């Protein structure tokens, strides 16, 4: 097995263009479904779900702040992942839409700093929110709730939940491309099962997607 990690939207583009792949996992169900419709994938299977949360630099919070006040404070810089390239960015745009007029204002201010074609890579061993906030690039990151347990353990960071009414639900799914991919999917399911955001444990590993390649891998 030769895994290749990256923003799921960009990985999908490579596979849809003909790159060899045994198993493709994405935080966006639409990606595997599209491969199935194209005749590239043998089957599609959901394996986990996720939601969004806010990670905030602790020393900028006011006693009265909640998730909405944090996002609508003009003095705070908000980082997101890149819509179109990374599902996290797509779900964040859905969050903004559900916020109504307030969300439209936040959408204009938000900065897509990770998960894009030209985005700087997150340093090895660090979480995106940890890096962006501690590096001074933003005070807030909107990201996956599955990272919340690890982020809450980092000094100087505060994680704030987003109410379910506004919070998009991400459905993670795999596209099984080959017999080898089918065997790999069965192995992951038996060994790790499935999970929910509160546990912070997904069989797809540290990132939100796996692209298990054949011999040439993904280059």
Q: Looking at residue 212, what is its pLDDT?
A: 33
Average pLDDT over residues 142-158: 98
For the record, the structure tokens of 187 come out as: 């192995």
Radius of gyration of the chain (CA): 18
Tell me the per-residue pLDDT of 58-96, one tens digit each, with 9 for 90 and over.
999 999 999 999 999 999 999 999 999 999 999 999 999
**What was the pLDDT predicted at 96?**
99
Its pTM stands at 0.80
DSSP 8-state symbol, 120: P
Q: Residues 157-207: pLDDT tens digits?
A: 999 999 999 999 999 999 999 999 999 888 887 776 654 444 444 443 333
Do residues 82 and 8 make contact, with C-beta atoms less than 8 angstroms apart? Answer: no
Q: What percent of the chain has pLDDT over 90?
A: 71
pLDDT greater than 80 at residue 216: no
**Distance (Å, rounded) from C-alpha 151 to C-alpha 22?**
32
Of 146, 148, 147, whose CA–CA distance to 160 is shortest?
148
Domain 52-161 has CATH 3.40.190.10: yes
DSSP code per residue over 60-105: G--TT--HHHHHH-TTS-EEEE-TTTSHHHHHHHHHHHHTTHHHHH
Q: Domain-by-domain residue ranges, the chain?
A: 2-48+179-213, 52-161
């Amino acid at each position: 097995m030769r895994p290749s990690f990256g923003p799921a939207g960009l990985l999908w583009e490579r596979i849809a263009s003909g790159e060899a792949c045994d198993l493709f996992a994405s935080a966006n169900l639409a990606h595997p479904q599209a491969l199935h419709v194209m005749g590239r994938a043998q089957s599609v299977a959901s394996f986990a779900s996720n939601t969004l949360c806010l990670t905030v630099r602790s020393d900028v919070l006011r006693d009265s702040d909640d998730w909405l006040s944090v996002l609508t404070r003009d003095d705070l810089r908000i980082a997101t992942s890149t819509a179109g390239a990374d599902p996290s960015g797509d779900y964040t745009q859905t969050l903004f839409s559900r916020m109504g007029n307030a969300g439209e204002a936040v959408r204009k201010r938000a900065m897509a700093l990770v998960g894009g074609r030209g985005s700087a890579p997150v340093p090895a061993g660090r979480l995106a929110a940890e890096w962006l906030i501690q590096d001074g690039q933003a005070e807030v990151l909107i990201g996956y709730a599955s990272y919340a347990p690890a982020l809450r353990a980092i000094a100087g960071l505060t994680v704030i939940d987003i109410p379910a009414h506004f919070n998009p639900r991400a459905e993670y799914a795999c596209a099984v491309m080959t017999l080898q991919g089918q065997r790999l999917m069965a192995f992951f399911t038996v060994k790790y099962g499935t999970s929910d955001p509160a546990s912070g444990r997904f069989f797809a590993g540290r990132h939100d997607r796996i692209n298990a390649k054949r011999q040439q891998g993904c280059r």
